[in-house]
Amino acid sequence: MKFTELLDLKPKCILCKIVLLVVIVSIFTTTDLIVKDVVYRNLRHENYPMQRKDDVVVIKGFWNYRYTQNDDIGFSILSWMEKFLSPTAKRIFLCCLQGVGTAIVICFYFYSKRLKFLVPFALIISGALGNFLDRCFRGFVVDYIMWYHKSFIWPIFNLADVFTVVGAFMLILILIFYGDDEDKPSTETVSQS
């Protein structure tokens, strides 16, 4: 079976789609939550929860693990809300926003007809669900991957963010190179003279 034929497979039943999605999302989301818990337990200062212990250097001058509590989303895009909402109201709003976003991606997955969308959507759902659960249970998202060079520091992120970005990138590539999900009718016409 060729790769393109595999991508064009259609699952025979909705139960198959559900089982495949649940298995993959469970693996990725559990991995994300376990890693966040390890970071939370080992890189957070016990006596001063908002402070962190020393960074763990992965690649000197480029990559560290640094514990950070993120009470916002994507590049602090909603930080302006702090002027209008209490911390609890903001947390509830962000949980609802992330929950609705996750539900929308799940709907897109079930709307898709081909197997080629399984892994990208599963990664996006896993990332969204991992951050959603972290925010709901902790009140914030644990971020810990810090990439930097000299004085430039990329916004600190986590494994769930990686899942979301990789899934979105895969989805874009599949749409560009392997087409959309629609069954297109044949464009061949018989010319009559």
> Of 54, 143, 180, 181, which one is the catalytic site residue?
143
Known catalytic residue: 143?
Answer: yes
Neighbours of 67 (CB within 10 A): 24
Residue 134 annotated to the active site: no
DSSP code, position 60? T
Task: Please give the backbone phi and psi of residue 59, each rounded to the nearest 5 degrees, phi first.
Answer: -130, 110
The amino acid that residue 17 corresponds to is K
What is the sign, positive or negative, of the torsion defined by CA atoms of 19, 114, 106, 169? positive
Active-site entry in 161, 180, 181, 183: 161
Beta bridge partners of 160: none
Do the Cβ atoms of 58 and 65 come closer than 8 Å? yes
List Cβ<8 Å contacts ≥24 apart for 44-48.
none
| Site of tokens 């004085």 | 151
Tally of CA atoms within 13 A in the half-sphere of 141 that contains its CB: 28
Q: Which residues contact 7 (CB under 8 A, 6 or more apart)?
A: 114, 115, 116, 174, 178
Active site residues: 143, 161
